[in-house]
Chains A and B, each alone.
Chain A
Amino acid sequence: MSASEIVPALVAAGSRARRPGLGSAFGWELSKLWKQKRAKITLAFAAVAPVLIVLIVKSQQRPPKDSLFGRFIHESGWSVPLLILGFAAQWVLPLLTALVAGDIFAGENQMGTWKTLLTRSVSRTQIFWAKTITAVLFALGVLLLLSVSTILSSIILIGHQPLVGLTGQVIPSYTAALLVSASWATAIPPLLAFTCLAILLSVLSGNPSFAIAGPVVIGMVMQLGGSLGGVEALRPFLLTTPFEAWHGLIVQDRFYGPLEYGLIGSMVWCVGSLTWAYVAIRRRDVTGG
């Protein structure tokens, strides 16, 4: 073994021991997030708001029949989480994830801390992934809190009567528990796609307000576009369509096509957004900021 082969190996080993990795960058991102009042308020909202919403829903004299499951709010506690899921997907879920994902890159612009951050001994790639993982974990955490709180408060405040499904069939309480939980879980792919979109806007705009409002507005436009007659062909490409894929779980003969298409669509949106964001971060000139 020649000296010229040993030296790079030593350097590599030495640098691995000395340089902090993705793990420590991620740890810093988490602690930065935890110090933000906004993140804590969002989590508290996800835990407490469903209880209030269920109380309001419960007190309605006239059931909101124009939404799916609205007509059954007094008949089964399992219908309320599905009513709220349908409503949350319209703009609440995109907003909740964008509150953190939209700020996570742009916040550094706002504070003027990119230069400080990039002089730490972690690479841009590591910073990018640390921030992305933080935003994704936050989104998943918010969804988990929101769904658990919604389901529990519905069951406690209204009850666990059998559920009338989307083919008019009666679903026993135990099966309904599984299906309602699974329905909330199907919101994960489109939610993460919105997270990726918020990250992209955060990177490109450098403006937290824009990157937080952007995904919400895009979501609402897609919602509107998807509900128009005559343009149904666009639906598979919209980020809001997978939010409705749970319908296939609540019918008599379950269908999973929309779930599969939704998963693929969400992945394409997410990978596309993250790739664009990554390239933009790698190329960014931060000497000015």
Chain B
Amino acid sequence: MRRLKSVSLRRLVPWVIATTVLVVGAGALVSTSQSSVTRPRLERDLSQTFANRYVAQAKLLGHSGVTVEGMRPRTQCYKGVPNVNDQGSGAGVWLCYMKWYDSNVDETLMPGKFELNVHSNSCYTATGPSKLVGLLTITDKNDKDVINPVSEFDGCFDPHGLDTPTGNLDLVPTKTSPTGLASIAIAAATLHPDGNSIVRPTITCSPGQEGCGGTIVATVGGTPIDTVTYVLSPDSKGRLVITIPKDTSGGEIVLSVTPVIGKAATPKVTLAIK
């Protein structure tokens, strides 16, 4: 008992040295090493685990002829954003795209997108593409609601397993997100006023960041007659609603655009009115 009370600095020295050595050693180790969670391991294991669970689902649904061999699943995974911020390996959230063969599903919906939460112990939880595999519960062949085996499933892979690339590079969709500003364009067509002297010119917003928004001032014969605001999402169409004086038919209307979001293809457009 007394020994504990008389802990001296001399007894602490080995502890301090040991702790320092451990921390420095651990730091050196961490900085030079690679994670066992790698793309090839994940791609191989997800294909296999999904195929096994998919066959179980086919059994529940009464689909015949679905086998692991016949499905020939191929998977491409990445961590982070491909080509921009691909983190290569390690635990975290991964996205995987998989193609497989099954005559019971619409193959134009392939590849299916899987979201994986991968842990450092080489186990993961995957969420399947609901468009292709259905929701959390499905109705089986006996009209009973059952848990969908492929909507969410767990898997573990060998942390020392085969790590040569699978060669699957064609599965991640290469849709590039637009980087420029969206621009608004007014269709150059003759306008036909309706019974209430309202004209409806068509406007188009091109694909681009954040879409289009702003104000348009309509002028007839040099005098402003109306101010309208517009808001359009990227890659969409809309119509303006402008009330014009009753005696304008046969004349011209000038529309000047002041964009706030995005830009304008032509800031001033002249349209004929019939």
In the bound complex, how far is the Cα of B158 from the Cα of A258, in angstroms?
8
Q: Which of B1, B49, B56, B122 interacts with A206 by CB under 8 Å?
A: B1
* Chain B nearest CB, measured from A180 CB (Å): 15
Of A169, A230, A255, A289, the residue contacting B2 (CB under 8 A) is A289
Is A166 a contact of B155 with CB atoms below 8 Å?
yes
Q: Check B157–A229 contact: CB distance below 8 A.
A: no
Q: Is the CB of A168 within 8 A of B52?
A: yes
Interface: B183 (CB within 8 A):
no
Which of A42-50, A136-144, A232-240 lies at the binding interface?
A232-240
Nearest opposing residue in chain B for A207, CB measure: B4
CA distance A253 to B157 in the complex (A): 9
Known contacts: A207-B4, A232-B120, A288-B2. The answer to whether A169 contacts B52 by CB under 8 A is: yes
- Would you list which residues of chain A between 94 and 125 have a CB under 8 Å from chain B? 109-110, 112
* B121–A247 touching, CB < 8 Å: yes
Taken together as a complex, chains A and B put the C-alpha atoms of A228 and B32 apart, in Å, by: 17
Q: How large is the interface on B (under 10, 10 to 19, 20 to 34, 35 or more residues)?
A: 35 or more
Say yes or no: is A252 at the interface (Cβ < 8 Å to chain B).
yes
| A229, B152: Cβ atoms closer than 8 Å | no
* Complex contacts, A250 vs chain B, CB 8 Å: 156
Q: Are B155 and A234 touching (Cβ within 8 A)? A: no
Report whether B90 and A168 are in contact in the complex, using a CB–CB cutoff of 8 Å. Answer: no
Q: What separation, in Å, do the CA atoms of A285 and B6 have in the docked complex? A: 13
Interface string of B214-230 (1 = CB under 8 A from A): 00000000000000000
Instruction: Using known A-B contacts A167-B49, A247-B122, determine if residue A205 contacts B36 with beta carbons closer than 8 Å.
Output: no
B29, CB-defined interface residue at 8 Å: yes
In contact, B120 and A229 (Cβ under 8 angstroms) = yes
Instruction: Give the residues from 252 to 279 in chain A that come closer than 8 angstroms, CB to CB, to chain B.
Output: 252-253, 255, 257-258
Interface core residue of A229, A230, A235 (most chain B CB under 10 Å): A229
Q: Tell me, in angstroms, the Cα distance from A258 to B30 when the chains sit together.
A: 19
Within the assembled complex, what's the spacing in Å between the Cα atoms of A169 and B26? Answer: 37
Q: Does A68 contact B (CB under 8 A)?
A: yes
**Is A231 part of the contact surface with B, judged by Cβ < 8 Å?**
yes
Bitwise, A130-168 to B at CB < 8 A (1) or not (0) is 000000000000000000000000000000000010111
> Is B50 a contact partner of A168 (Cβ separation < 8 A)?
yes
Asked if residues B1 and A109 are in contact (CB atoms below 8 Å), the reply is: yes
Mark out the residues of chain B between 20 and 44 whose CB falls within 8 Å of any chain A CB in the assembled complex: 26, 29-30, 32-37
Verify B155–A167 contact, CB threshold 8 A. Answer: yes
With CB as the reference atom, state the residue of chain B lying closest to A250: B156
Of B50, B119, B155, most A-chain CB atoms within 10 Å: B155
Which residues of chain B have C-beta atoms less than 8 A from A164's C-beta?
56, 149
Closest to B4 in A: A206
| A167 CA / B68 CA spacing, docked (Å) | 12
B242 at the interface (CB under 8 A from A): no
Q: A248 contacts the other chain (Cβ, under 8 Å)?
A: yes
Q: In this complex, what residue of B is CB-closest to A255?
A: B158
Residue of B nearest to A166 (CB): B156
Chain B residues with CB under 8 Å of chain A are: 1-4, 26, 29-30, 32-37, 45, 48-53, 56, 90-92, 119-123, 125, 147, 149, 152-161
Q: List 25 A-B contacts (CB under 8 A).
A: A66-B125, A68-B123, A68-B154, A68-B156, A166-B155, A166-B156, A167-B52, A205-B4, A227-B120, A227-B121, A229-B35, A229-B90, A231-B30, A232-B33, A232-B91, A232-B120, A233-B33, A234-B29, A234-B30, A251-B156, A252-B52, A255-B158, A255-B160, A257-B159, A258-B160
Closest 9 CB pairs of A and B: A233-B33, A168-B52, A255-B158, A229-B91, A168-B53, A166-B156, A168-B49, A257-B160, A247-B156
In the complex, given contacts A205-B4, A228-B120, what are 8 additional A-B residue pairs having Cβ atoms less than 8 angstroms apart? A109-B3, A169-B52, A226-B121, A230-B35, A241-B121, A251-B156, A252-B48, A288-B3
